[in-house]
């Protein structure tokens, strides 16, 4: 990733630098041609209006004219001047100049051979001593003089371009330094940003089904830190899920071991020659197998409760649901069946699962009550959602058991010897949590118990219409 960034940055700098360098070179060449044109124009103006300072009249010889021109004209920086008469060098600048054209015999011979023409245009030439020159030659004649003069103006293109070259050499050094700095900073930043990913990989390698305690230390608020936090949250959920599975398997193994031991013991002691003994063992074995089947069914139910399709909510009328649950519960036992309150409201829930949860609570209430005790159901709306409850006037639940009563295979002390797998209340809690709700219990020994299922409202509900009835 860092190499790709540096590569793109280097290509961008290279393209920008080369393009700018070529544009600047063209501008320098255009400036040289403009200066040559200006020099030629000034030379022609002097030829038209100039006078000999010694005589005060017109020039009479080419040599004298070129002498005065060379005396009056001071070359610019990187400019050279030269005058020839009849192909021989006549005059050169008297002041210090950057380009001494007269020192290059090959150049002097070349311009003498070329001569001049009425059409003055810039030319370029590469010389051994002076480098590349951009020059013009202007022919000079004076009436009454047969000599042929030649005025040469030249600029050193190498010297003119040297500033551009120096500038872009500096640019190249700065660009390389910038790339190096970007590389170092990028390496440090990338290492810091990718450190959580390396830790994530190392943590994932250390994780096994027996050790999910590894976590990634997180600092910062960037996307990588957010990924590390998400990974830690996932490990928390996995650790909880694995712990729950191990506990469930341990509890299931413990609970299933008891009926298996009972069945094995009775079969080993059974007298196969005694029909009565065989029948008794048969009845006991079938009963224990039925209990094991119910336990397995309950465990399968709990395993399915974590699936997204465990519940299928739809709009349900709470008052009608409470009436239907009570009608189904009447046949369970001889109790005083009541409706504490009925909420006339339509809420989204899975009626089959909620009915299953309420009947399970009612079944528990039947186990721990006696004929004549009250078992009541009810529903209500609150600002947070809907509530459904089952209340009884039975023996109640000890305070020490309230925290664990919804755990798998947990039983209250009052329930010792009462038939059941210990999974009923765990199933109720699973159904409530599948609806994003909760189940709670309010009880005290001898004062009965009230189990409440609280469900959040995600649909529409009508106003409460609470009616107390006695069945």
| DSSP letter (8 states) at residue 422 | S
Split at pLDDT 50, 70, 90, the class of 412 is low
Backbone angles phi and psi of 220, in degrees to 5 = 100, 175
Domain positions in the chain are: 2-164, 223-304, 311-470
- Range from 21-25, 117-121, 326-330, 447-451 carrying the lowest mean pLDDT: 117-121
- The structure tokens listed for 383 are 């600002």
The pLDDT score that the predictor gives to residue 309 is 83
Q: Cα-atom radius of gyration of the chain, to the nearest Å?
A: 53
- Range from 125-139, 164-178, 422-436, 457-471 carrying the lowest mean pLDDT: 457-471
Average pLDDT, the chain: 84
Pick the most confident of 41-55, 102-116, 425-439. 425-439
Distances (CA, A) of 315 to 320, 346, 461: 12, 6, 10
The pLDDT score that the predictor gives to residue 152 is 92
pLDDT in tens, 185-202: 888 887 777 777 787 777
Look at residues 447, 403, 463, 398 and name the one whose alpha carbon lies nearest to residue 429.
403
Pick the most confident of 161-175, 228-242, 377-391. 377-391
What average pLDDT score do residues 377-401 get?
89
CATH number listed for the domain at residues 223-304? 1.10.287.130
Residue with token string 């600048």? 93
Q: What distance in Å separates the CA atoms of residue 379 and residue 438, rounded to the nearest whole number?
A: 15
- The structure tokens listed for 385 are 């959602």
Look at residues 345, 347, 323 and name the one whose alpha carbon lies nearest to residue 436.
347
The pLDDT score that the predictor gives to residue 462 is 37
- Range from 69-78, 185-194, 309-318, 365-374 carrying the lowest mean pLDDT: 185-194
What average pLDDT score do residues 202-223 get?
74
Side-chain half-sphere exposure of 88, counting CA atoms within 13 A: 4
Backbone angles phi and psi of 156, in degrees to 5 = -80, 110
Q: In sequence order, which residues have a C-beta less than 8 Å from that of residue 294 and are 6 or more positions away?
A: 421
What average pLDDT score do residues 227-244 get?
80
- The structure tokens listed for 22 are 């070529």
Q: What distance in Å separates the CA atoms of residue 304 and residue 298, rounded to the nearest whole number?
A: 10
The pLDDT score that the predictor gives to residue 96 is 77
What average pLDDT score do residues 295-313 get?
81
Residue 21 predicted with pLDDT over 50: yes
Q: In sequence order, which residues have a C-beta less than 8 Å from that of residue 257 and are 6 or more positions away?
A: none
Residues 409 and 254 sit within 8 Å (Cβ to Cβ): yes
Split at pLDDT 50, 70, 90, the class of 419 is low
- The structure tokens listed for 145 are 């003089």
Question: In degrees, to the nearest 5, what angle opens at C-alpha 354 toward C-alphas 352 and 360?
Answer: 100
What average pLDDT score do residues 346-350 get?
92
Residues 79 and 97 sit within 8 Å (Cβ to Cβ): yes
| DSSP letter (8 states) at residue 197 | H
Neighbours of 283 (CB within 10 A): 10
Look at residues 136, 134, 138 and name the one whose alpha carbon lies nearest to residue 118.
138
**First-last CA distance in the chain:** 75
Which CATH number among 3.30.1490, 3.90.75, 2.160.20, 3.30.450 corresponds to the domain 2-164? 3.30.450
Look at residues 386, 398, 320, 394 and name the one whose alpha carbon lies nearest to residue 361.
394
What average pLDDT score do residues 160-183 get?
88
The pLDDT score that the predictor gives to residue 449 is 92
What average pLDDT score do residues 299-304 get?
77
For residues 79 and 207, the model is more confident at 79
Question: In degrees, to the nearest 5, what angle opens at C-alpha 148 toward C-alphas 145 and 153?
Answer: 130
Residue with token string 């190498």? 158
- The structure tokens listed for 48 are 């038209």
Question: Which spans in 305-437 are helix H?
Answer: 318-329, 351-367, 424-434
Which CATH number among 3.40.50.300, 3.30.565.10, 3.90.1150.180, 3.40.640.10 corresponds to the domain 311-470? 3.30.565.10
**β-strand 336-341 against 374-381: which pairing, if any?**
parallel
- The structure tokens listed for 229 are 């936090």
Instruction: Locate the DSSP E strands across 204-335.
Output: 314-317
Split at pLDDT 50, 70, 90, the class of 319 is very high
Distances (CA, A) of 453 to 319, 408, 434: 15, 18, 12
Residue 322 predicted with pLDDT over 90: yes
**β-strand 336-341 against 469-470: which pairing, if any?**
antiparallel
- The structure tokens listed for 395 are 């023996």
- The structure tokens listed for 100 are 């001494």
The pLDDT score that the predictor gives to residue 197 is 76
The pLDDT score that the predictor gives to residue 91 is 85
What average pLDDT score do residues 313-319 get?
92
Residue with token string 């990588």? 224
**β-strand 79-85 against 145-156: which pairing, if any?**
antiparallel
Side-chain half-sphere exposure of 180, counting CA atoms within 13 A: 6
The pLDDT score that the predictor gives to residue 463 is 35
Residues 438 and 455 sit within 8 Å (Cβ to Cβ): no
Distances (CA, A) of 158 to 25, 40, 126, 129, 272: 11, 22, 10, 12, 121
For residues 459 and 56, the model is more confident at 56
Residue 470 predicted with pLDDT over 50: no
């Amino acid at each position: 990733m860092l190499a790709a960034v540096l590569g793109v940055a280097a290509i961008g700098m290279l393209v920008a630098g080369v393009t700018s360098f070529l544009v600047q070179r063209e501008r320098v060449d255009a400036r040289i041609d403009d200066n040559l044109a200006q020099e030629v124009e000034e030379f022609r103006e002097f030829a038209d209006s100039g006078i000999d300072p010694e005589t005060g009249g017109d020039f009479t010889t080419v040599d004298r004219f070129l002498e005065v021109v060379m005396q009056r004209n001071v070359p610019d920086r990187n400019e050279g001047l030269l005058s020839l008469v009849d192909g021989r060098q006549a005059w050169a600048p008297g002041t210090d100049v950057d380009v001494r054209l007269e020192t290059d015999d090959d150049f002097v011979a070349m311009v003498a051979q070329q001569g001049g023409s009425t059409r003055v245009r810039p030319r370029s030439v590469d010389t051994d001593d002076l480098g590349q020159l951009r020059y013009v030659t202007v022919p000079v004649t004076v009436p009454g003089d047969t000599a042929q003069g030649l005025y040469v103006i030249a600029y050193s293109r190498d010297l003119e371009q040297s500033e551009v070259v120096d500038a872009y050499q500096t640019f190249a050094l700065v660009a390389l330094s910038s790339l190096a700095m970007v590389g170092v900073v990028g390496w440090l930043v990338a290492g810091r940003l990718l450190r959580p990913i390396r830790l994530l990989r190392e943590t994932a390698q250390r994780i096994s089904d027996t050790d999910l305690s590894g976590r990634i230390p997180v600092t910062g608020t960037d996307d990588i830190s957010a990924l590390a936090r998400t990974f830690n949250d996932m490990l928390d959920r996995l650790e909880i899920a694995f712990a729950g599975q191990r506990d469930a398997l341990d509890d299931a193994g413990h609970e299933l071991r008891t009926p298996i031991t009972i069945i094995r013991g009775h079969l080993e002691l059974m007298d196969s020659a005694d029909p009565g003994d065989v029948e008794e063992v048969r009845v006991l074995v079938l009963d224990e197998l039925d209990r094991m089947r119910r336990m397995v069914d309950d465990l399968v139910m709990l395993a399915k409760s974590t699936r997204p399709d465990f519940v299928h909510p739809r709009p349900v009328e709470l008052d009608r649901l409470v009436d239907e649950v009570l009608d189904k519960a009447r046949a369970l036992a001889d109790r005083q069946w009541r409706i504490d309150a009925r909420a006339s409201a339509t809420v989204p829930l899975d009626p089959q699962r909620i009915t299953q949860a309420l009947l399970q609570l009612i079944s528990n209430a039947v186990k721990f009550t006696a004929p004549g005790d009250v078992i009541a159901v009810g529903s209500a709306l609150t600002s947070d959602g809907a509530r459904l409850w089952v209340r009884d006037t039975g023996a109640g639940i000890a305070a020490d058991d309230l925290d664990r009563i919804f755990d798998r295979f947990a039983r209250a002390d009052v329930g010792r010897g009462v038939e059941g797998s210990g999974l009923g209340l765990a199933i109720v809690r699973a159904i409530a949590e599948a609806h994003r709700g909760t189940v709670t219990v309010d009880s005290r020994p001898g004062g009965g118990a009230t189990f409440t299922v609280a469900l959040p409202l995600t649909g529409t509900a009508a106003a409460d219409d609470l009616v107390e009835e006695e069945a």
